[in-house]
Amino acid sequence: MKFKYQCVDCKATFETDEIVYQCPHCAGTEKKGEFPKGNLRVLLDEKELKDLKKKDHVTIYDFFPYYVPNKEVYPVGNTPIVVPKRLNDKIGLKNVCCKMDSFLPSGSFKDRASQLIAAQAIAHNTKKIALASTGNAGAAMSCAGAAYGLDIILFVPETAPINKLMQSVLYGATVVPVKGTYDDAFLLSIAYTKHFGGINRNTAYNPMTIEGKKSISIELFEQLGRKIPDVVYVPTGDGCIISGVFKGFYDLMCAGLTDRMPHIVACQSEKSNAISQAFKTGKFTNIEASTRADSISVDCPASGRMAVQYLKDYDGWTVEVTEKEILDAQMNLVKNSGIFVEPASATAWAAYEKDVENLKKKFSEDVNVCVLLTGTGFKDMAVFDGRVSLPPSIENSEEAVIKRFS
C-alpha cells in the first residue's frame, strides 16, 4: 500500500521512496535528558485504506506498506487467544483473554516488527540490518535473518538474559555485547550504520518497526469476530509496541472497519516508568530504570512521545506495578492458567489485576479485556533462581516411591 511519513512532533509530512528514520527538522532538538524528538508515523493512502472496507476478511498484509515475500519462511501472526478461565473465575471478570505473542517464531512479539523490516530490506535490495535490543528484538531480527538470508548486526547490553543472546548467536547474527545499557547499545548501533551502512532497525527509530507491530490489532479484530475489545493491556518500555497497537486500531478506523478505538493501557514497572510519568506530568524526562523485567527496562523511551500522544488522544491510561507484583503475576499465570511468560509480559497481567476495581467502576463486570503477552518464559529462566528449585531425586526403587509419598 502507498504511504507517506508524518513527524510526531511538527506534523510535517514526507513522501519518499528512500528509507528515512527521523524528521530532519525535529530529530535531536529535544532538551538534554528528555525523550527523543522527531519520530515518524507511517500514514497509509486514504483511498486504498477505504477500499479495504469492502472486504469480508482482512489480513495484516492488507495494511502493510511493504510487500512481504515468502511469508511461509518466517510465519508471523495468527497467535492464539487463551481464556485463562481459572483466573477469570477467581478475579470475577469473565470476558478476559490473553493474546499469546509468546508463540511467534522467535518466542516474542518482536517478530512482528522484524518481518516488516526484512520486507523493507528485501524491497531496498539491502542484506545488512543493524540494531540494538534488550534481547527480544535482536533474537527476532536474527531469526528473520536466518529465514531470509540477511546479515544481522546486533548490539545488546552484556547483561541481557543469556538465552536471548544465545538465541541470536545460534541464528547466525553478529552479536556485539556492550558494556553499557540498552540506551548505550541504541546509540552504538546508529554509529554502526553511519559508518558501515545497512538498514537500522532500532525500535521506533525505524518507523517500520511500529508499523509492523500494528499487525496485532488487525489480527485481534478479525479473531474476535470483527469486534474491538473495550480495554487492551500492553507491557511498555520504549513505547513502540503500544504505539503499534494504537496504530493498528487507528488504521482499522481509517478503513471504516470500526468506529471506535479500544482503551489502551501502558503497563510499566514502578522501576521503569518513564512513559507513565510523562503521561501524568506532561514532562518528557528520562529516568534511571532498574526493573528485573529486562525487556521493559528503559531510561529514555525511543517511542515515548508518540506513545503519550496516543494515550492522550484515545483515552488510554497507565498502570505502574511493583517488582513483587510482576513476579507474583508471572507465577500466578503459570500455575493457574498454564501460561508461561517472561517478566515483561507478566507486567501486563499484574497491571490488569491491579486495575480490576477501576475496570468494574468504569465499565461493568462484562467488560471485554485483552492482555498482550509478549514473550515466552523460556527466554529468562534465571529469574526463577532462589524462587523455584527442583526437588531432590529419589532412588530407582518401589520403596523410594512409597517413602516419598507416605
Ligand X SMILES: Cc1ncc(COP(=O)(O)O)c(C=O)c1O
Q: Which stretch binds ligand X (CB under 6 A): 12-20, 23-31, 89-97, 237-245?
A: 237-245
Q: Which stretch binds ligand X (CB under 6 A): 68-76, 338-346, 363-371, 381-389?
A: 338-346
Binding of ligand X at residue 239 (CB under 6 A)? yes
Q: How far is the CB of 6 from ligand X (least distance, A)?
A: 20
Closer CB to ligand X, 58 or 204, in the complex: 204
Closer CB to ligand X, 255 or 279, in the complex: 279
d(CA 253, CA 392): 56
Closer CB to ligand X, 52 or 298, in the complex: 298
Cα-Cα-Cα-Cα dihedral sign, residues 239, 79, 385, 325: positive
Strands of 50-179 (E only): list them.
Answer: 81-82, 96-100, 128-132, 151-157, 174-178
Closest-approach residue to ligand X (CB): 375
Strands of 69-127 (E only): list them.
Answer: 81-82, 96-100
Q: How far is the CB of 350 from ligand X (least distance, A)?
A: 13
The edge-to-edge listing of strands for the beta sheet with 40-44 is: 13-14, 3-7, 40-44
Binding of ligand X at residue 215 (CB under 6 A)? no
Closer CB to ligand X, 58 or 144, in the complex: 144
Q: In angstroms, what CA-CA distances link 397 with 132, 391, 401, 406?
A: 52, 17, 7, 14
d(CA 60, CA 66): 11
How does strand 174-178 pair with strand 199-200? unpaired
Q: How far is the CB of 364 from ligand X (least distance, A)?
A: 29
Contact mark string toward ligand X, 66..105, x via CB under 6 A:
----------------------------------------
Q: Of how many residues is the chain composed?
A: 406
Closer CB to ligand X, 108 or 277, in the complex: 108
The H or E element spanning position 5 is strand 3-7
Contact mark string toward ligand X, 368..387, x via CB under 6 A:
------xx------------
Q: Could you tell me the three cell numbers for 99?
A: 493474546
Binding of ligand X at residue 248 (CB under 6 A)? no
By the 10 Å C-beta count (0-12 exposed, 13-18 middle, 19+ buried), 282 is classed as exposed
Q: Which stretch binds ligand X (CB under 6 A): 72-80, 89-97, 114-122, 240-248?
A: 240-248
Binding of ligand X at residue 6 (CB under 6 A)? no
| Interior angle at CA 74, CA 73 and CA 80, nearest 5 | 130
Among 215, 276, 345, 368, binds ligand X (CB under 6 A): 345
Among 134, 189, 318, 330, binds ligand X (CB under 6 A): 134
Q: Which stretch binds ligand X (CB under 6 A): 38-46, 82-90, 239-247, 314-322?
A: 239-247
Binding of ligand X at residue 183 (CB under 6 A)? no
Cα-Cα-Cα-Cα dihedral sign, residues 282, 287, 291, 295: positive
Closer CB to ligand X, 245 or 257, in the complex: 245
DSSP string for residues in 177-231? EESS-HHHHHHHHHHHHHHH-SEE--BTTBHHHHHHHTHHHHHHHHHTTS---SE
Q: How far is the CB of 203 from ligand X (least distance, A)?
A: 6
Binding of ligand X at residue 344 (CB under 6 A)? yes
Cα-Cα-Cα-Cα dihedral sign, residues 313, 319, 320, 326: negative
Binding of ligand X at residue 235 (CB under 6 A)? yes
Q: Which stretch binds ligand X (CB under 6 A): 108-116, 121-129, 168-176, 390-398?
A: 108-116
Scanning residues 285 to 314, which ones bind ligand X (CB under 6 A)? Answer: 295-296
Q: How far is the CB of 248 from ligand X (least distance, A)?
A: 14
Size of the residue set binding ligand X (CB under 6 A): 22
Give the count of alpha carbons within 13 A of 334, CB side only.
16
Q: Could you tell me the three cell numbers for 90?
A: 477467581
Among 237, 262, 304, 377, binds ligand X (CB under 6 A): 237
Q: In angstroms, what CA-CA distances link 307 with 27, 88, 265, 301?
A: 17, 29, 10, 9
Q: How far is the CB of 376 from ligand X (least distance, A)?
A: 9
Residue ranges in contact with ligand X by CB under 6 A: 108-110, 134, 136-137, 203, 235-242, 295-296, 342, 344-345, 374-375
